[in-house]
Structure 1
Amino acid sequence: MRSRSIAWRLALAFAAVCALVLSLIGVFLYRSLASELAYRDDMALLGRLEQVRALLADSDSLDALQARPRLYQNMLGNLDSLLLVRRADGSSVIAINPRQRELPALNAIARDQSPQRQDVLTWPAPDGAELALLSGEAQGPNGELLTVIAGKVLSEREQMLGSYRMRLYLAIGLGALLAFALGLLLLRKGLQPLRHLSEAVRGIDLRSLDQRLATSDAPTELLEPVQALNGMLARLDDSVQRLSQFSADLAHEIRTPLHTLLASNGQALNYPRSTAEYQEVLASNMEEFERLKRMAENLMFLARAEQAERALSLQTLDLQPLGDELCDYFEALADDRDVRLENGLHGELHADRQLLQRALGNLLANAVRHADSGSVISLRRRDAEGVCWLQVHNFGPVIGDEHLGKLFDRFYRADPSRAEPGDSGGLGLAIVQSIMQLHGGRVRVGSDAAGTVFELGFVVI
């Protein structure tokens, strides 16, 4: 199912917001207009009642008033207004009621009381029309008590408000459509940098990972994503370079034992050999096979470690007996090199026992292999703020600064001529680094005239 466009979604949201705002404004204007019209109608009724009261009070006789009906019709001004003046017995003095509607009983305001807006009654007539009615007492000629009823049919007001509602609906609808169209146009124009970014990313392939996306023309909102993409491209480029270098190094490392196997087997087949000579060839082949096996196992471990497939079995370890076990294991190799091992580990550490043994074992094997004859290799512990450092210290050739940053790369050897059949194939220190990454720690090395020190840093919680 094809997903909807972001521009369409935002344009619809923009149109909905505009419609909501226009609706609120329309409701406010409509109610303001309705209130203003109602106020004017009510004030007109109040004024009419006062005018009729004054006219009745100033007249000499009711007969003279009855003889001038046009005066009241002109005062009312339209057929939607009505005016009734009644005597106390219910007879009409003035009766202007174009529709001849029957009116409800009304409470008349005392003649000495000024009418107020709350005195106006809104009454629904039987024919469906609404009327605004106001009744008040008045004093006629010779002090006669009269009742005045002023009214107005509200149909004209309702028609005006209905027409105004229709215009509001039309304005809101057209405003929402216009907001949607303009919003969609502006959003598509505003999203052009995204399309340019997509085109730039689409043009980057495996052969052009060194290219970077331009940040100078990127909008502020896209600057952070562009920088993140550039960082990802840098990491991809670095990973591809490392993979290419790893492939080349792996081919080189495998080629050496394979070449040795082919050469020794070819010589053994070309000339007759004694049983002892064949056994010697087989023993040499076994050493090369062991070397290939260790290399394969180390590569498999590194692959699992990098993909975080290995679950850590963390436990609290007593470091002193762990160091004693490692020293005992490498004692024979140390004796062959005329090197002495010294365990200075102490205290406890929360780590994976098997992986810690492997990391320290790789460092000890490396130290024994490169230590000066007659020197001491020591295991130490140094506590810093929040970090426990396990050190492997040995005296040997100083490692140059140009090599220190590459020691933990796969298949890297500071001195390739010193590679031995029993070594880790250039993967030992890379495995140490992977083990420390699994533990969330780090490994570092320093080398000077005072010796070479490899340190494993574990975060102490």
Structure 2
Amino acid sequence: MSKSIAWRLALAIALTCALVLSVIGVFLYRSLASELAFRDDQALLGRLEQVRALLHDSDSLEALQERPRLYQNMLGNVDSVLRVERKDGSPLIAINPHQQPLPDVPAIAVGQAPKRSDIHTLDAMIVLAGVAQGPAGETLRVLVGKRLDEREHMLSSYRLRLYGAVGLGVLVAFGLGLLLLRRGLLPLRELAQSMRGINPRSLDQRMPTDAVPTELREPVQALNAMLERLEDSFSRLSQFSADLAHEIRTPLHNLLGSNSLALNQPRSPAEYQDVLASNIEEYERLNRMAENLMFLARAEHGQRPLHLQALDLHEVGAELCDYFEALAEDRQLNIVNQLNGSLMADQQLLQRALGNLLANAVRHAQAGTTLHLQRRDDEGMCWVGVHNFGQPIATQHLDKLFDRFYRVDPSRAQPGDSGGLGLAIVQSIMHLHGGKVLVRSDAQGTLFELGFSKLENSV
């Protein structure tokens, strides 16, 4: 439950409602308390004025003392207090139902209108004192007051109702929020149910995007894109496994066949030497394949560190031309080194990448043509390429040339080839350098180019 999105959001909604309702409740409570205090104060101010007027208009104090009910009815309830006393402090009128000790507060002068600031709050009572003029001009002191028990009881009852309303509102908000969130998250559960049905045999399935809410459409589209990448990677992996098994089976089959023939009957030392020489060729082929696969695995996992240095491209091209000169002459080919300038790269990896491209070009170029090592620059990139004239590569093969063990030639194997891993190694080398590989093939020839970013190179 603690990890449930619905519960967490419902709790957040409930807490938000609690905060909002509490703020509203405090505002209403303070407004009510302020209104009640204002009304009590206004009543007390009016009461003092009424008593003053009554005392001033009376014929005698004795007549006032004979009619105490008049004052009790004027006060209206048992929480009100009235005390009228002479200048010497002797009481003239004393109405104090609870017999509460009355505080001694300053009295406002005769003729001065009372204000709210003149009211004093003492011992759960509000009191107001003023000087009045009685019959025959006698100076009297009037004290009016009211106990706050009724007000406090009303506010206490109101507080309890607010607490109950806030609590009930929080529970209702939590329950409705949880219910609505669970209904709102139903598309996620349906999506999870659909995903459970996807396995390696059904990677072609895609999540529907028409019926999902707008907020989930983008994640579902990203999920479908991921499934597409997984399908492509799984397909490539399956093809790689099949190609690897085929590539290994061929030399193993050759080794088993030659050894079986050699053991069927006695052979001369020269014949055994021929068998061993043939076996060595197959072992070398397996060894090259293992080394290439090991290099690809290390490159993909970043275990092959780069040793960047400023390289003279013309010198790199010259060394490669010298290395492939004999092979090119055998196939009646010329190699022209047009590389120039400098490049920041790993020397061994650059030589290996260009060497694989040159070997591929020599193998597929038409006799009597010329191979070119060339360079071009555009905005932000430096391109180093190998161009040869030969049979154009069909468009459907271009995107697969850098896959492992992929060959355009259906015969799959030719003497001295790289086991179908040469171009895959070139691509891995460029990934290590943060660059890319481009290929173009048409009637004007085939061009493989290695792209290096100028931001990381000095030209």
Q: Place the TM-score, normalised by the shorter chain, in its bin.
A: over 0.9
Q: In the alignment, which of 379, 384, 404 is matched to residue 410 of structure 1?
A: 404
1:448 aligns with 2:442: yes
Q: In the alignment, which of 360, 371, 376 is matched to residue 366 of structure 1?
A: 360
Give the structure 2 partner of residue 24 of structure 1: 23
Give the structure 2 partner of residue 92 of structure 1: 91
Instruction: Give 1:84 shift.
Output: 0.9
Mapped partners of 1:115, 1:244: distance in 2: 99
Cα deviation digits, residues 319-360 of structure 1 (max 9, x gap): 222222222222222222222222222222222222211111
Q: Contact between 2:381 and 2:454, CA under 8 Å: does it hold in 1? A: yes
Identity of aligned residues (%): 71
Cα deviation digits, residues 245-303 of structure 1 (max 9, x gap): 11121122222222222222222222332222221111111111111111111122222
Cα deviation digits, residues 6-64 of structure 1 (max 9, x gap): 11111111111111111111100110011001000000000001111111111111111
- Name the amino acid aligned to 2:293: L
Alignment of 1:169-248 (within 5 A): 169-248=163-242
Mapped partners of 2:160, 2:412: distance in 1: 94
- Name the amino acid aligned to 2:317: G
5+ residue gaps, structure 1, are 125-129
Mapped partners of 2:183, 2:122: distance in 1: 58
Give the structure 2 partner of residue 145 of structure 1: 139
Mapped partners of 1:182, 1:398: distance in 2: 69
Give the structure 2 partner of residue 46 of structure 1: 45
Going from structure 1 to structure 2, the CA distance change for 1:418 and 1:245 (only over 3 Å counts) comes to closer
Mapped partners of 1:362, 1:186: distance in 2: 63
Mapped partners of 1:70, 1:350: distance in 2: 112
Q: Contact between 1:408 and 1:429, CA under 8 Å: does it hold in 2? A: yes
Q: In the alignment, which of 299, 303, 308 is matched to residue 302 of structure 2?
A: 308
Give the structure 1 partner of residue 59 of structure 2: 60
The secondary structure found in structure 2 opposite 1:64 is helix
The secondary structure found in structure 1 opposite 2:40 is helix
1:77 aligns with 2:76: yes
- Name the amino acid aligned to 1:159: H
- Comparing 354-363 with 38-47, greater Cα deviation is found at 354-363
Instruction: Give 1:173 shift.
Output: 1.4
Going from structure 1 to structure 2, the CA distance change for 1:418 and 1:230 (only over 3 Å counts) comes to closer
Give the structure 1 partner of residue 101 of structure 2: 102
1:392 aligns with 2:391: no
Q: Contact between 1:8 and 1:184, CA under 8 Å: does it hold in 2? A: yes
- Name the amino acid aligned to 2:214: T
Mapped partners of 2:372, 2:268: distance in 1: 47
- Name the amino acid aligned to 1:49: L
Alignment of 1:192-341 (within 5 A): 192-341=186-335
Instruction: Give 1:418 shift.
Output: 7.4
Cα deviation digits, residues 202-228 of structure 1 (max 9, x gap): 111111111111111111111111111
Q: Contact between 1:443 and 1:456, CA under 8 Å: does it hold in 2? A: yes
Q: In the alignment, which of 157, 160, 163 is matched to residue 166 of structure 1?
A: 160
Instruction: Give 1:3 shift.
Output: 5.1
- Name the amino acid aligned to 1:24: V
After superposing on structure 2, the runs of 4+ consecutive aligned residues of structure 1 that deviate more than 3 Å are 416-419
Mapped partners of 2:168, 2:411: distance in 1: 84
Mapped partners of 2:328, 2:344: distance in 1: 29
Mapped partners of 2:77, 2:25: distance in 1: 30
- Comparing 139-148 with 382-391, greater Cα deviation is found at 139-148
Cα deviation digits, residues 128-187 of structure 1 (max 9, x gap): xx1100011111111111111110011111111111111111211121112111111111
The secondary structure found in structure 1 opposite 2:384 is strand
Give the structure 2 partner of residue 113 of structure 1: 112
Mapped partners of 2:449, 2:131: distance in 1: 109
Q: Contact between 1:287 and 1:421, CA under 8 Å: does it hold in 2? A: no
Q: In the alignment, which of 350, 357, 363 is matched to residue 344 of structure 2?
A: 350
Mapped partners of 1:156, 1:82: distance in 2: 14
- Name the amino acid aligned to 1:447: S
The secondary structure found in structure 2 opposite 1:372 is coil
Give the structure 1 partner of residue 35 of structure 2: 36
Q: Contact between 2:2 and 2:8, CA under 8 Å: does it hold in 1? A: no
Q: Contact between 1:132 and 1:154, CA under 8 Å: does it hold in 2? A: yes
Instruction: Give 1:240 shift.
Output: 1.3
- Comparing 141-150 with 45-54, greater Cα deviation is found at 141-150
- RMSD value over aligned CA atoms? 1.5
- Name the amino acid aligned to 2:263: L
Mapped partners of 1:56, 1:367: distance in 2: 127
Mapped partners of 2:173, 2:303: distance in 1: 53
The secondary structure found in structure 2 opposite 1:413 is coil
- Comparing 231-240 with 39-48, greater Cα deviation is found at 231-240
Going from structure 1 to structure 2, the CA distance change for 1:418 and 1:8 (only over 3 Å counts) comes to closer
TM-score, L = length of structure 2: 0.96
TM-score, L = length of structure 1: 0.95
- Name the amino acid aligned to 2:230: L
- Comparing 2-11 with 249-258, greater Cα deviation is found at 2-11
Q: How many residues align?
A: 455
- Name the amino acid aligned to 2:441: S
Give the structure 2 partner of residue 127 of structure 1: none
Mapped partners of 2:267, 2:422: distance in 1: 37
Mapped partners of 2:356, 2:189: distance in 1: 51
- Comparing 43-52 with 178-187, greater Cα deviation is found at 178-187
Q: Contact between 1:342 and 1:378, CA under 8 Å: does it hold in 2? A: yes
Cα deviation digits, residues 403-430 of structure 1 (max 9, x gap): 2222212212222347323110111011
